[in-house]
């Protein structure tokens, strides 16, 4: 049996809703073998980020080398990279192993406001990593930081997508979760020629911790299986929608989404004692 494999290079979320934990759960649910290279350990729960402990760039490189030189990966996802040393080291490894299916989630700020990327690292992201990316998945504030635009409407998002594409990224997905006045959420995909729009009703819940990580991980899993960018984005929209709709109501703050929900219809309901 041949199984598709995906590697996530990201931070650990002790609360299990975002970061490496969200990515591996999503890979597993979409039948992809998940592997990880941890960039930073966070002490985090639904109430916020209480500590950030970055690893050295060398520690990150050794984890990636261990995977690249043995098991290999069909697709790579990056999440929290924290500083420019880690970004440059990760970019070098992507080139070294000739990885072309690279999905960059440009994680900058956690929901509670904690910084997951140093300000000085934004240029490294633009100059080193984005030119290697098959897909980049910013939310609206991240697209604003990367492009310098003030994004107020869909036209602005289209302009931002074109600018991001000009940085060398082949496909741009700008997520619509942060357009807080919109009841219809629009995730926009730009492939350098055409725009596609994935629209869904906003679900009213505070349990949206890790939606961005989960969404990009679902795209990565589908791309690892050889699916098209459009199909992968469409599946990711469906996956995150179910995960938000069937939230687990854990913790006192912004709880995680439900990574089982998308497959639950096929498997039947969970047996909870």
Ligand X SMILES: Nc1ncnc2c1ncn2[C@@H]1O[C@H](COP(=O)(O)OP(=O)(O)OP(=O)(O)O)[C@@H](O)[C@H]1O
Ligand Y SMILES: Cc1ncc(COP(=O)(O)O)c(N)n1
211 forms part of the interface with ligand X (CB under 6 A): yes
**Structure tokens given for 109:** 């700020």
The DSSP letter of residue 127 is I
**Structure tokens given for 196:** 């596609």
CB neighbour class for 75 (10 Å; exposed up to 12, middle 13-18, buried from 19): buried
CB neighbour class for 253 (10 Å; exposed up to 12, middle 13-18, buried from 19): middle
Q: Which stretch, 57-65, 66-74, 94-102, 174-182, contacts ligand X (CB under 6 A)?
A: 174-182
Q: Which stretch, 44-52, 128-136, 144-152, 208-216, contacts ligand X (CB under 6 A)?
A: 208-216
Helix (H) or strand (E) run with residue 241 in it: helix 229-245
**Structure tokens given for 106:** 């440009």
Among 110, 136, 185, 233, binds ligand Y (CB under 6 A): 110
Looking at the Cβ atoms of 116 and 224, the one nearer to ligand Y is 116
68 forms part of the interface with ligand Y (CB under 6 A): no
15 forms part of the interface with ligand X (CB under 6 A): no
Measured distance CA(149)–CA(144) in Å, rounded: 5
176 forms part of the interface with ligand X (CB under 6 A): yes
107 forms part of the interface with ligand Y (CB under 6 A): yes
Q: Which stretch, 30-38, 103-111, 179-187, 227-235, contacts ligand Y (CB under 6 A)?
A: 103-111
Looking at the Cβ atoms of 21 and 139, the one nearer to ligand X is 139
79 assigned to active site: no
Quickly count: other Cβ atoms within 10 Å of residue 55's Cβ.
Answer: 19
Looking at the Cβ atoms of 4 and 214, the one nearer to ligand Y is 214
48 assigned to active site: no
Contact positions with ligand Y (CB under 6 A) in 206-245: 209-213
E strands in the chain: 5-13, 33-45, 48-54, 75-78, 102-104, 135-136, 171-174, 184-190, 195-201
Query: In which region does residue 157 sit, left (phi positive, over 0), alpha (psi from -120 to 50) or beta (all else)?
Result: alpha
Measured distance CA(68)–CA(89) in Å, rounded: 14
* CB 95 to ligand X: min, Å: 26
Looking at the Cβ atoms of 9 and 169, the one nearer to ligand Y is 9
Catalytically active residues, by annotation: 175, 208, 210-213
* Interface positions with ligand Y (CB under 6 A): 10-11, 13, 18-19, 42, 44, 79-80, 107, 110-111, 116, 209-213
* Interface positions with ligand X (CB under 6 A): 111, 139, 175-178, 185, 187, 200, 202-203, 208, 210-212, 215, 237, 240-241, 244
């Amino acid at each position: 049996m041949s199984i598709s494999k995906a590697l996530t290079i990201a931070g650990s979320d002790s609360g299990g809703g975002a970061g490496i934990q969200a990515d591996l759960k999503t890979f597993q649910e979409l039948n992809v073998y998940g592997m990880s290279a941890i960039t930073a350990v966070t002490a985090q729960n639904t109430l916020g980020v209480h500590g950030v402990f970055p690893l050295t760039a060398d520690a990150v490189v050794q984890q990636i080398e261990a995977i690249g030189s043995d098991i290999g990966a069909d697709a790579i996802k990056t999440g929290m990279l924290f500083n420019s040393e880690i970004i440059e080291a990760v970019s070098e490894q992507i080139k070294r192993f000739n990885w072309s299916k690279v999905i960059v989630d440009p994680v900058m700020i956690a929901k509670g406001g904690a910084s997951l990327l140093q300000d000085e690292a934004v240029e490294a992201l633009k100059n080193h990593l984005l030119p290697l990316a098959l897909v980049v998945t910013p939310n609206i504030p991240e697209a604003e930081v990367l492009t310098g635009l003030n994004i107020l409407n869909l036209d602005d998002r289209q302009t931002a997508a074109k600018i991001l594409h000009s940085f060398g990224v082949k496909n741009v997905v700008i997520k619509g979760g942060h357009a807080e006045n919109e009841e219809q959420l629009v995730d926009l995909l730009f492939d350098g020629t055409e725009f596609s729009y994935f629209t869904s009703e906003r679900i009213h819940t505070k349990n949206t911790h890790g939606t961005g990580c989960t969404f990009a991980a679902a795209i990565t899993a589908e791309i690892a299986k050889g699916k098209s960018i459009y199909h992968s984005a469409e599946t990711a929209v469906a996956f995150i929608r179910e995960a938000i709709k069937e939230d687990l109501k854990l913790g006192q703050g912004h709880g995680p989404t439900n990574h089982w929900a998308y497959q639950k219809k096929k498997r039947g309901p969970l047996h909870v004692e």
